[in-house]
Structure 1
């Protein structure tokens, strides 16, 4: 009959395995619910956090210089303000840089999900594609808004009165293209952020509050994109837009704080490789058997 306290029981079998010992020692200092990131992953997390934070700040600060105080859907009034702006192209280039930085931050977070599970890695690949598409739509949106629309409204203002209706219709067509690009940009990026939030919450590869914040930001982005597609730049669309961007900023702050506070995981040597571990003493029965010159039975 086996004795539970016997050294030949299950406890000895587990501790005598070098791989199990290394796993136990490396996991002792880590949280049981969330593995510590490696040094390479920590650098990637910090870069993503910096992109989310700096992107939001650039976007917010540069947007303060955006021309146009009239209702964006009141085209005659707002187009006249756009035409009077001398910094329009530079401002939109800065806004694009800020928004693109936030999208790149989301892209980098997707690249962390490499754990060998097909469903997780496939979801991450889909997220990378969606984020890449969102970045392309962002570039197209601000190219149309920052360059094409500016030329259209300038031409409308400078055109003689008899030709103004045609120029105004052309400017409205450009505006409609901008709204279409903005709508798809918001929806695609929102879907990507919701998918990223699910990956974070399910795998705990990144601290969960970041996932919750990005999930809320994604839902707000989808709502904003839908409003843009149905009502244009309506005032009710500004609420989910600004709220979602604030959530992205908060996620970046949270992520940066956690990456600076959490130490990276370092590979732990196996017991036989550690200098401070003394070799195990041979079994006394083995030593007595060698002294007698016989074998153990």
Structure 2
């Protein structure tokens, strides 16, 4: 193979890598921000474990099902960004297996997210609406039914957080091993993933509200956003550098 062919191949590889990183970062940033906007602007908030109060807010929400469908799509878009990032990491000897495991856990995370949103976005809404519209002895039964759905949501939320954390941690470790992306991005994903696993375990014990979750939730928000933006910026910078 002559020098010109090698140079052309290297240029194509660099261009493909920069495009792939840009797409991965764009998907992660876009999905993450869409989920944040939908949750902050339209999702009812309050004391999550005060069921009488929070169920009333849920029942009053006319956009509940649409908001959860939007959240469902947003998180899937974010996870698809990780799967695109996998394409950059998969060919490296030291990180190939780790990257494959990371991609597999991302798919598993998407699956449990779908079940969680179906239960929360549709099942819980129907349960709380039935409770609000009931009267007499039936109201007590309907409230108990809604609490059962809520507790199922706790379980799925716990395992979703754990799987999401494992996904981030595996991607972070694959980045550190492959050295194809800046090491600080790997550490960001790894630390964010560990925090998510801790939150997932805490949800199983404490429910959807605790002081630990408040603190780590802020850390996870910052770390995941930093990771997503970092991947996007890396792709854009590499693209601009190779175009000069």
Kindly state the Cα deviation for residue 210 of structure 1 after the two structures are TM-superposed.
1.4
1:43 aligned to which of 5, 12, 19: 19
**Paired residue secondary structure (1:111):** helix
What's the counterpart of residue 166 of structure 1? 141
Distance 1:168 1:263 in 2: 56
Structure 2 counterparts to residues 99-178 of structure 1, below 5 A: 99-115=75-91, 117=93, 120-178=95-153
- Does structure 1 retain, via aligned residues, the 8 Å contact 2:22–2:234? no
**Paired residue secondary structure (1:38):** helix
Identify which of structures 1 and 2 has the higher relative contact order when contacts are C-alpha pairs closer than 8 Å and 6+ apart. Answer: 2
**Paired residue secondary structure (1:160):** coil
- Does structure 2 retain, via aligned residues, the 8 Å contact 1:80–1:157? yes
What's the counterpart of residue 174 of structure 2? 199
TM-score by length of 1: 0.73
Does 2:209 match 1:234?
A: yes
Distance 1:105 1:37 in 2: 19
**Paired residue secondary structure (2:176):** helix
**Paired residue secondary structure (1:261):** helix
In the alignment, structure 2 segments of 5+ residues that lack a partner are none
Structure 2 counterparts to residues 1-297 of structure 1, below 5 A: 38-115=14-91, 117=93, 120-236=95-211, 237-263=213-239
Kindly state the Cα deviation for residue 177 of structure 1 after the two structures are TM-superposed.
1.1
Q: How many residues align?
A: 239
Distance 1:116 1:61 in 2: 36
Distance 1:220 1:116 in 2: 27
In the alignment, structure 1 segments of 5+ residues that lack a partner are 1-17, 31-35, 267-297
TM-score by length of 2: 0.88
Q: 1:101 to 1:246 in 2, by over 3 A?
A: farther
Kindly state the Cα deviation for residue 116 of structure 1 after the two structures are TM-superposed.
5.7
Detail structure 1 runs of 4+ shifted over 6 Å in the superposition.
Answer: none
Structure holding more helix per residue: 2
What do the CA deviations read for 1:126-164 (whole angstroms, capped 9, x no partner)?
111111000111111111111100000000111112111
Distance 1:80 1:231 in 2: 22
- Does structure 2 retain, via aligned residues, the 8 Å contact 1:56–1:98? yes
What do the CA deviations read for 1:85-128 (whole angstroms, capped 9, x no partner)?
111111111222222222222222223223362x5322222111
Deviates more, 1:256-265 or 1:201-210: 256-265
